[in-house]
Amino acid sequence: MTDRIVNDFSITVGTVNGSGSSTANNTILRAIFKMGIPVSGKNLFPSNIQGLPTWYTIRVNKDGFTARRDEREIVIAINPASFEKDVASLVPGGVLFYEDSIKAPITREDITVYPMPIKQIVRSDPNVPSNLRDLVGNMVYVGILAQMIGMDLETIRAALTFHFKGKAKPVELNFNAASAGAEWAKANLEKKDPYYLKAMSATNGMIMADGNTAAALGAIYGGVQYVGWYPITPATSLAETLNEYLPKLRKDENGKATYAIIQTEDELAAIGSCVGAGWAGLRAMTSTSGPGLSLMTEFAGMAYFAEVPLVVWDIVRMGPSTGLPTRTSQGDLSFVANMGHGDTDALMLLPGSVNECFQFGWQAFDIAERLQAPVFVMSDLDFGMNQWMTTPFEYPDRPMDRGKVLWEQDLEKSDGKWGRYLDVDGDGIPYRTLPGNRHPASSYFTRGTGHDEYAKYSEEPQVWIRMMARLKKKYETAKQYLPKPVIDGSGSKVGIIAFGSTEPAVREARALLAEKGIQTDFLRLRAIPFAPEVTDFISAHETVYVVEMNRDAQLHQMLTLKHVPQASKLTAIAFNDGLPPTAQWIFNDILAKEEK
Amino acid sequence: MTDRIVNDFSITVGTVNGSGSSTANNTILRAIFKMGIPVSGKNLFPSNIQGLPTWYTIRVNKDGFTARRDEREIVIAINPASFEKDVASLVPGGVLFYEDSIKAPITREDITVYPMPIKQIVRSDPNVPSNLRDLVGNMVYVGILAQMIGMDLETIRAALTFHFKGKAKPVELNFNAASAGAEWAKANLEKKDPYYLKAMSATNGMIMADGNTAAALGAIYGGVQYVGWYPITPATSLAETLNEYLPKLRKDENGKATYAIIQTEDELAAIGSCVGAGWAGLRAMTSTSGPGLSLMTEFAGMAYFAEVPLVVWDIVRMGPSTGLPTRTSQGDLSFVANMGHGDTDALMLLPGSVNECFQFGWQAFDIAERLQAPVFVMSDLDFGMNQWMTTPFEYPDRPMDRGKVLWEQDLEKSDGKWGRYLDVDGDGIPYRTLPGNRHPASSYFTRGTGHDEYAKYSEEPQVWIRMMARLKKKYETAKQYLPKPVIDGSGSKVGIIAFGSTEPAVREARALLAEKGIQTDFLRLRAIPFAPEVTDFISAHETVYVVEMNRDAQLHQMLTLKHVPQASKLTAIAFNDGLPPTAQWIFNDILAKEEK
Amino acid sequence: MAQPLPVAGANVQVNLTGLSRNDYRGAPSTLCQGCGHNSIASQIIAACYDMNIVPENVVKFSGIGCSSKSPTYFLGRSFGFNSLHGRMPSIATGALFADRTVKGISVSGDGDSANIGIGQFKHMMRRNANMLYIIENNGVYGLTKGQFSATADIGLTLKKQGTNEYTPIDICEEALIANASFVARSFAGNPKQVKELLKAALSHKGIAVIDIISPCVTFNNQDDHLHSYAWGKDHEQPLQEISYVPPREEIMLQADMQDGDIVEVALHDGSLIRLKAIDPGYDATSKLAALTMLEKAREENLLVTGLIYIDEKKPDMIAMHDLSDRPLNRMTESDLRPARETIAKINDLMF
Amino acid sequence: MAQPLPVAGANVQVNLTGLSRNDYRGAPSTLCQGCGHNSIASQIIAACYDMNIVPENVVKFSGIGCSSKSPTYFLGRSFGFNSLHGRMPSIATGALFADRTVKGISVSGDGDSANIGIGQFKHMMRRNANMLYIIENNGVYGLTKGQFSATADIGLTLKKQGTNEYTPIDICEEALIANASFVARSFAGNPKQVKELLKAALSHKGIAVIDIISPCVTFNNQDDHLHSYAWGKDHEQPLQEISYVPPREEIMLQADMQDGDIVEVALHDGSLIRLKAIDPGYDATSKLAALTMLEKAREENLLVTGLIYIDEKKPDMIAMHDLSDRPLNRMTESDLRPARETIAKINDLMF
Ligand SMILES: Cc1ncc(C[n+]2csc(CCOP(=O)(O)OP(=O)(O)O)c2C)c(N)n1
Ligand SMILES: Cc1ncc(C[n+]2csc(CCOP(=O)(O)OP(=O)(O)O)c2C)c(N)n1
Ligand code: SF4
Ligand code: SF4
Ligand SMILES: [Mg+2]
Ligand SMILES: [Mg+2]
């Protein structure tokens, strides 16, 4: 037998959706996390509710590289429909756990095979009601796996207790099933494979959360007051989390709501109501994905032009069109950058971790109100719907920035003299008043049509030019309010620019490249328009690889346009098949280009 | 008195909309055209129905330069509200005709002034019913102008006969008013200004038409079968012209319609119904402008991805948002190029004359069906709603291209074997069948979600990659089916690239530059994606100015991205205040840059 | 709360809030002369003046169209939002959460609300926001020069459009079956009724829809078709004579109300709508009666006007959301950001 | 015209077109077990088989949702278009002009047609396209995991959503007042009625709406709320016993139809719907009766099912557009491009 392989492998569970296996799979993930071992879990699920093949991939890595890998060392095969494919997907020397009622032949000789009599084991527990047997059965494979790779049963209990919010009954039921599995394995299986878990302390002080939860919580700490939304995968859970936590965190002195959430009739109304709320002075947000975003186009253009603050979370899924609703992508950048007819500009925030989903959750409102503009936060399905390790969420480190708002007393001071679209401060950002202001000079008339500095309708050519030039200026000003890129480097010749959920894969790819002698610096972009630091980074490197998950190298295009004289340095590493990227893919592609 | 200035000046009528002056103004335009003198007319109107200031500008130019000019040699001032501004707008030495009931003081000494007692003259004709006096009054200034600058009264009659479709009564009524005006002027006004018209034969064999009419007629000759539309300025008249001409030109043997036109409930339904019709094998089109286009985003993405042919006419007006509904722009390029979430591509046709509006009217269908994709024809308000001189419309010079469609007999031959998204020919374009095909193997299931070569739903990563790569290939193939650029040049160092309605201004600016010793070559772009000729043109020049009507130099950006190594050659000449560009503006800008 | 502008000169007549009629006007209209929309704007001005409404307590909303322009022409001292075609309801929904003491007055057109906007219209009814929703219904698209709207008469022939083949949408029926809490119909040619209905609607808490037939004199004013002044004059049949009795006013029957079948409806603010039934027995609190009446009116080719339906008990949007009594848009960080100590608890809730 | 596939083996039962029931099936369902939508798909298969419909003569349309997936699961030999959320009606509108001999069968959900799609739904009714329009109504969004739709019961409490405060939209009322020409309601738990109504609807020329209560067993199947099997079973009250009599079949009363109040409605293709009134005197040709019945059913908390309204005389979309008798999508250049000589005339029409 080969040497032990400890805390460095991937586990894939092949099952069907709607079968309750997500509890089991999350339990494995959490149990490993509780053992202090860096871990990640990715759910690869179909766009339906019940009965189709689903895979859950867990990566355990002692060095903290938790990007998805294509290689599967351990496969737990529960689904007869995908069995053949699942078996074939194992690396040589890999391990197959399988539900022993699957009768398909296993022809591979290079793997270790453990059959699991799950149904039998469940039936042997008289405490499991017959209608729950299938559900609870999933915990049996958790127990068997635990026994075979050395997962701590107590961490399983902790995971279950969390999952069932402490409710003793389901915890016991499920824990017993896991224990039964473990006992059975102990008695019946002989360890023949090299894969082991061993407790560490690498996750101490960390938490696990998904990006949508983090975003929703961040928004609550950002003082969100209005949510207009429409369900769509993978954005739904963001609004549903607001629904869950807002009532707990945000009541006034009389126990009444300081916010309103409306599930509108569609996405046009979702963003429309945010435009209304943002205009009227509420911190307004919506969350959506591709098709919904496309429907928001007309209002996005209006919010840009009438200068209304609001926040749009785009949890990107694979487009174009309905595309792959349950697959991840970074393919909406170009669209958002040009969202709406006529000349526009867009402010985009690009969170690069679940913790940043929380941070940008509150910061997005400050930015939107400061700049009186829609802010698009570009998350994705991988962030939004998967559990990630993260440092704990931190309380906002600065007071809210409500931007330039004039109330009654301000107008009294200025004798009621003000102009809604007047560039008083020379930064392109005008002042605004809010409905409900009772000063008789407070009101103005808002429109998406041409208007002058005093919000009066105007078709004057010069007025139009002035307003559009001021908007351009405002988007220049924006750069100082946007999160700066995060740069990790020490003067290498090769630079990498990436953003969002590719971060772990890029980090790991850099390590792989370093092993080959290729040192790289890394700029993680956090906002568009680009900060000056981005230009400096490009200037400071001989080659800059731009890594992203889309077909057309959208960020690469945007960087090229802004850095024409240096454009030849910029090399696109763009690929998108719906799966989170692997470090290997990035590594291979850069290596090939470096060796050319 | 200075020398005569013959056939080279601009006339502006300052009036109010809804007052019936458009008949009068069009009459002037047409009468001059009938005199064989090159002429253009631009209506500068507000976004309401009645009572606000409106200007109609006519440019007469013997050399055929008919772009708008800022300079006004002759002003006819009918509107008291804009009187002061109108008087101020005259060039020194200019001529003011004004309604003499306007009592404002005229302080300028450097102009010739002709008061016009319009009301009196109208009242003196007992044949004019009192309720028509205001309307007919407009013709009085036409007559006075005619008399003073030497416009032929018979050409006025010809223009009126056309306008009233030969109906004798209104023709007489209006003609008499013009005659009365002319007679009055002859008797009472003494010519003191230098501006004269003189008959030429420069417009022989030409016609006058607006771009929307041309587009509609072109579409009819292209066999349009389905029109789903929603009213919006400046696109409305396109669909209304289809409404007018289709019944005349397109009945079957029983007098029944071979087409359907539906004014849908909104633009989502307009394009949606075109997607349905195009999918089912009809030549389908819609026409819209900015706000409507934004609403079409989700369907545009679907048509791209599900590969449905249809034609969208975008009669561009000033955006973003509702913007300036009655002002012109070329500001939708970037939006259309990125229309829809996810990775997309767009086919755009860019007509550069009213005649090309007709040509692209029919060609767009061939291209859409050949490529199984939406085709966006980017016209604008200046084309769409103004009268332009043009060579006559020509009958299509080639048979219809219905693209790759399989009917019953085709499937019989292939034994029913085919795949909707199979790249049989290696050009990225698959074959399709149409509902109503009765072969039992003909049907397939269309969706905006991921699908394989046989149109089956698929979430397979490799399938997705394959399909998206084939789409990319298809858009490469597209170049050979799109209209090539028109190039005018002879090896100058300086090139100009422009498209659409800026053509006359560019042409004139080139003449002005040539006078300054700057020879230029001109590439008029007619389609996106770019043909190889565009690249050749850029390669062949030292400097290339990209002229366009928008703030952000959108075409310049697109050219830059496709020509990064040569990008430093490309210089943006971009400006958009809602008015059609003048040659002077282009000339000044290029000259300043050339002299730097 | 209000800060009324000083009244210029002593001889200007003012209402109880110290404002003159002028303070309720807006910019001069740029609509066509004779357009029904202008006459409605005048009645809005009159109703607000009569009701002593403080303009700063109102927010105006509209979509796109000639009708949707009209908020520019009244209540120049109120905030206004001329939004997108067909999307006014969504804008209003969000905005009306900002300050619950502010009343919404919105104007839309038949194209705006029955064509492109019918979806937002229907769902706005369900939310029952505290807003007067006027549809200035002329059967055509005025601003784009005379295409059929969804309320156009079947068989109507227009110049460039040919003949309308589609059965019209009845805005009041649409509002009713979507459970709107106040539904009325009126006619721009009957300004007195328009005004009284506006007052009643402004006192209603929740969504108040008034479908006002408002002829487009430029594109659709054919004597033999609904949406013309002539047809309206000939075929109008008011359901009731309506008078609005402000809160705290002595409740006394006016002379012309003495005989006949008088019904009074109490509104939440203490005001009353007094209805002298012309169609005796018509019960404006019954949805079924309302639907029946509308269907019969359609069959008999009548323009029945008046208060069609009212439900004073339906909770409005603010109540449904159990909203704070304080205006949300005046809340500050201390109201909106959970206390520092909560963050640890939140982290504990994660795994 | 049809090219029926050869039938495998002699013992397979076939209908008059020579097709077996299998020829009407689609791909295996990927919906949840027990989902109402599956049972409706089975009845579509059964009805089409019984009616000897040639699958190639049908085009399927849907929006997005669990319900909208179901066209994959029936009539695998028909063309189909799974379109965008809420936008099926527009797709169908355009497509149904292509070949007038093709019948549309569409499936939508309550979210798809009453929330995002209510606008397209309403305007589809007005166009009266020749299409069966099924709404598989479960009061929730199934595919996005159980949010309230616009048809959700007021007071319904769902896991993550809390309690629904909004009054529901009644799809049949919506269809009726938009002047749909065929409106019915049924219940997935009453497959026999579903099937007969489907047959009647498929024979109707024009838009035929069937609102079918189709429980979502995963997210909304609470015994005490509409949209559950249990509630439906307890509260269903059929208006009639319905049987569909194909054209040319001998018209004979079946035994169980012998007594009672029998009404027959003739459809354009010569078939009949035979209604044995359970609610005697109910007149399915009266819009007012239909509205009254629906309002009463709502008040009395009943699930009234059956044929609610039918108007066989309303011209359908093809007729309204005076369309050629030949399929438009088989026309060629000679039909579609005006003759060469016309171009000179056109140029003459310009100035
Ligand atoms: C998305 C969009 N589509 C089309 C238009 C063009 N448009 C402006 S007003 C209007 C119709 C208005 O009709 P209605 O609401 O009845 O108002 P009216 O002018 O008759 O008062 C249309 C179609 C637009 N502004 N936006
Ligand atoms: C534009 C858009 N918004 C949102 C979605 C996400 N979505 C998919 S199905 C669905 C709801 C479907 O509900 P319903 O029509 O009732 O069908 P059911 O699943 O209940 O049968 C939603 C919101 C989408 N696909 N497109
Ligand atoms: S066009 Fe019609 S609706 Fe518009 S302002 Fe004129 S009369 Fe009124
Ligand atoms: S989630 Fe509900 S609607 Fe969707 S398939 Fe399952 S039971 Fe049917
Ligand atoms: Mg209207
Ligand atoms: Mg549903």
Does any domain span residue B353? yes
Q: How far apart (Å, rounded) are the C-alpha atoms in residues C71 and C52?
A: 19
Across the interface, which of D32, D64, D145 has its CB nearest the CB of A236? Answer: D145
Residue to mutate (ligand 2; options D68, D108, D143; most atoms within 8 A of CB) = D143
Query: Are residues B315 and B224 part of one domain?
Result: yes
Q: Tokens at residue C76, please?
A: 């120049």
What is the DSSP secondary-structure string of A229-272?
E---TTTHHHHHHHHHHHHHH-B-TTS-BS-EEEE-SSHHHHHH
> Is D85 in Cβ contact with A265 (below 8 Å)?
no
Distance from CA of A285 to the nearest CA of C (A): 11
Cα distance from N-terminal residue to C-terminal residue, chain D: 49
Which residues on A lie below 8 Å from C73 (Cβ)?
Answer: none
Query: Are residues A493 and A476 part of one domain?
Result: no
Size of interface A-D (CB pairs under 8 A): 58
Does any domain span residue B27? yes
Q: Within chain B, what is the greatest distance between any pair of CA atoms?
A: 87
- Please report the pLDDT score of residue D249 as a whole number: 64
Which residues 292-321 of B have a C-beta within 8 angstroms of A? 293-295, 297-298, 301-302, 304-306, 316, 318-321
pLDDT tens for chain A, 596 residues: list them.
568 999 999 999 999 988 889 999 999 999 999 999 999 999 999 888 888 999 999 999 999 999 999 999 999 999 999 999 999 999 999 999 999 999 999 999 999 999 999 999 999 988 888 888 888 999 999 999 999 999 999 999 999 999 999 999 999 999 999 999 999 999 999 999 999 999 999 999 999 999 999 999 999 999 999 999 999 999 999 999 999 999 999 999 999 999 999 999 999 999 999 999 999 999 999 999 999 999 999 999 999 999 999 999 999 999 999 999 999 999 999 999 999 999 999 999 999 999 999 999 999 999 999 999 999 999 999 999 999 999 999 999 999 999 999 999 999 999 999 999 999 999 999 999 999 999 999 999 999 999 999 999 999 999 999 999 999 999 999 999 999 999 999 899 999 999 999 999 999 999 999 999 999 999 999 999 999 999 999 999 999 999 999 999 999 999 999 999 999 999 999 999 999 999 999 999 999 999 98
- Check pocket membership of D121 for ligand 2, CB cut-off 6 A: no
Q: Which amino acid is at B350?
A: L
Chain D CB within 8 Å of residue C116 CB: yes
Last residue of a domain, one of A151, A186, A204: A204
Distance from CA of B45 to the nearest CA of A (A): 10
Q: What is the CATH number of the domain that holds C266?
A: 3.40.50.970
ipTM of model over 0.90:
yes
Which residues on D lie below 8 Å from B445 (Cβ)?
Answer: 71-72, 79-82
Does any domain span residue D7? no
Query: Are residues A66 and A180 part of one domain?
Result: yes
Spell out, as residue ranges, where chain C has pLDDT lower than 70.
Answer: 1-10, 249-260
Q: How far apart (Å, rounded) are the C-alpha atoms in residues A42 and A582?
A: 12
Number of structural domains (chain B) is 4
Strands D207-213 and A90-99: unpaired
Q: Tokens at residue D238, please?
A: 């059929």
Three-state SS for B114?
strand
Does any domain span residue A68? yes
Distance from CA of B571 to the nearest CA of D (A): 39
Chain D CB within 8 Å of residue B229 CB: no
Give residue-wise pLDDT tens across range B416-471.
Answer: 999 999 999 999 999 999 999 999 999 999 999 999 999 999 999 999 999 999 99
Distance from CA of C125 to the nearest CA of B (A): 20
Chain C CB within 8 Å of residue A469 CB: no
- Please report the pLDDT score of residue C249 as a whole number: 65
Residue to mutate (ligand 1; options C112, C136, C218; most atoms within 8 A of CB) = C112
Cα dihedral angle (A474, A480, A484, A490), rounded to 10 degrees? 120
Which residues on D lie below 8 Å from C126 (Cβ)?
Answer: 150, 166-167, 169
Query: Are residues B329 and B416 part of one domain?
Result: no
- Please report the pLDDT score of residue D10 as a whole number: 55
Range of the structural domain that residue B468 is part of:
408-480
Does any domain span residue B403? no
Residue to mutate (ligand 2; options A47, A50, A232, A297; most atoms within 8 A of CB) = A232
Q: Tokens at residue B1, please?
A: 């008195």
Contact D144, A233 (CB under 8 A): yes
Query: Are residues B181 and B92 part of one domain?
Result: yes
Query: Are residues B302 and B257 part of one domain?
Result: yes
Chain D CB within 8 Å of residue C173 CB: yes
- Please report the pLDDT score of residue A287 as a whole number: 98
Last residue of a domain, one of B455, B480, B505: B480
Positive/negative CA dihedral, A54, A60, A63, A69: negative
Q: Within chain C, what is the greatest distance between any pair of CA atoms?
A: 75
Query: Ligand 4 atom 4: the closest Cα is on which residue?
Result: D142
Contact A314, A351 (CB under 8 A): no
> Is C160 in Cβ contact with B243 (below 8 Å)?
yes
What pTM was computed for the model? 0.97
Half-sphere exposure of D24 (CA within 13 A, CB side): 24
Residue of A nearest to D67 (CA): A48
Three-state SS for A420?
coil
Q: Which residues on adjacent β-strands are paired with residue B484?
A: none
In chain B, count of helices (H) and strands (E)? 20, 24
Q: How far apart (Å, rounded) are the C-alpha atoms in residues B162 and B156?
A: 10
Across the interface, which of A46, A301, A324 has its CB nearest the CB of B320? Answer: A301
Q: How far apart (Å, rounded) are the C-alpha atoms in residues D237 and D234?
A: 9
> Is C123 in Cβ contact with D119 (below 8 Å)?
no
Compute CA C242 distance to the chain's CA centroid, rounded to the nearest angstrom: 16
Q: How far apart (Å, rounded) are the C-alpha atoms in residues B243 and D98?
A: 19
Tell me whether the omega of the peptide bond preceding residue A504 falls within 30 degrees of 0, making it cis. no
Task: Quickly list H helices, chain D.
Answer: 36-50, 66-69, 88-95, 110, 118-127, 171-177, 191-203, 229-235, 287-300, 317-320, 333-336, 342-349
Half-sphere exposure of C278 (CA within 13 A, CB side): 13
Does any domain span residue D209? yes
Across the interface, which of D3, D333, D342 has its CB nearest the CB of B400? Answer: D333
Q: How far apart (Å, rounded) are the C-alpha atoms in residues A453 and A464?
A: 10
Measured from CB, residues less than 6 Å from any atom of ligand 4 are A 49-50; D 31-32, 35, 37, 66, 138, 142-143, 216-219
Distance from CA of D83 to the nearest CA of A (A): 9
Query: Are residues A268 and A190 part of one domain?
Result: no
Residue of C nearest to A214 (CA): C350
Name the one residue in this structure whose structure tokens are 């396109």.
Answer: B238
Does any domain span residue B31? yes
For an interface test with D, give the residue of C291, C298, C308, C313 to mutate (most D CBs within 10 A). Answer: C291
What is the DSSP secondary-structure string of C15-66?
-TTS-BGGGGB-SPP-SPTT-HHHHHHHHHHHHHHHTT--GGGEEEEE-SSH
Query: Are residues B219 and B313 part of one domain?
Result: yes
Cα dihedral angle (B230, B235, B237, B243), rounded to 10 degrees? -40
Q: Please enumerate in sequence order all residues whose Cβ is within 8 A of that of C84, keeping only pairs 6 or more positions apart, or say none.
A: A272, A298, A299, A302, A448, B291, B321, B322, C63, C64, C91
Across the interface, which of C81, C122, C340 has its CB nearest the CB of A446? Answer: C81
Contact D288, C295 (CB under 8 A): yes
Does any domain span residue C15? no
Query: Ligand 1 atom 24: the closest Cα is on which residue?
Result: C85
Query: Are residues B502 and B557 part of one domain?
Result: yes
Does any domain span residue C56? yes
Q: What is the CATH number of the domain that holds A341?
A: 3.40.50.970
Burial call C228-263: b when 16+ CB within 10 Å, e when fewer: bbebbeebbebbbbbbbbbeeeeeeeeeeeeeeeeb
Does any domain span residue B232? yes
Q: Which of A464, A465, A480 is nearest to A427 (CA)?
A: A480
Does any domain span residue C22? no
Cα dihedral angle (B66, B71, B76, B78), rounded to 10 degrees? 110
Does any domain span residue B109? yes
Q: Which of D192, D290, D205 is nearest to D239 (CA)?
A: D290
Positive/negative CA dihedral, A492, A498, A499, A505: negative
Name the one residue in this structure whose structure tokens are 């139809």.
Answer: D257
Which residues 18-57 of B have a C-beta within 8 angstroms of A? 46-47
Chain D CB within 8 Å of residue B153 CB: no
Band of residue D4 on the pLDDT scale cut at 50, 70, 90: very low
Range of the structural domain that residue D323 is part of:
31-328
Query: Are residues A214 and A200 part of one domain?
Result: no
By CB atoms closer than 10 A (0-12, 13-18, 19+), residue C17 is: middle
Does any domain span residue C248? yes
Name the one residue in this structure whose structure tokens are 């500008």.
Answer: B57
Task: Quickly list H helices, B20-152.
Answer: 21-34, 83-88, 118-123, 133-149
Q: What is the CATH number of the domain that holds B534?
A: 3.40.50.920
Residue to mutate (ligand 1; options B229, B230, B232, B264; most atoms within 8 A of CB) = B232
Q: How far apart (Å, rounded) are the C-alpha atoms in residues D147 and D139?
A: 9
Q: Which of A317, A319, A335 is nearest to A380 (CA)?
A: A317
By CB atoms closer than 10 A (0-12, 13-18, 19+), residue B129 is: exposed
Cα distance from N-terminal residue to C-terminal residue, chain C: 49
Q: Tokens at residue A235, please?
A: 């954005």
Q: How far apart (Å, rounded) are the C-alpha atoms in residues C273 and A439?
A: 32
Spell out, as residue ranges, where chain B has pLDDT lower than 70.
Answer: 1-2
Q: How far apart (Å, rounded) are the C-alpha atoms in residues A172 and A170?
A: 5
Q: Tokens at residue A428, please?
A: 């392109």
Band of residue D278 on the pLDDT scale cut at 50, 70, 90: confident
Distance from CA of D111 to the nearest CA of B (A): 18
Number of structural domains (chain D) is 1
Question: To 5 degrees, how large is the angle CA B447–CA B449–CA B455?
Answer: 55
Chain D CB within 8 Å of residue C154 CB: no
CA distances from C268 to B59, B566, C246, C313 (A): 65, 72, 11, 9
Query: Are residues B474 and B494 part of one domain?
Result: no
Q: Which residues on adjacent β-strands are paired with residue C276?
A: C241, C262
Cα dihedral angle (D26, D27, D30, D33), rounded to 10 degrees? 60
Give residue-wise pLDDT tens across range D80-90.
Answer: 999 999 999 99
Residue of A nearest to B466 (CA): A577
Give residue-wise pLDDT tens across range D298-348.
Answer: 999 999 999 999 999 999 999 999 999 999 999 999 999 999 999 999 999
Last residue of a domain, one of A204, A227, A248: A204
What is the DSSP secondary-structure string of D260-323?
SEEEEEE-TTS-EEEEEESSTT--TT-HHHHHHHHHHHHHHT-EEEEEEEE-S-S--HHHHTTB
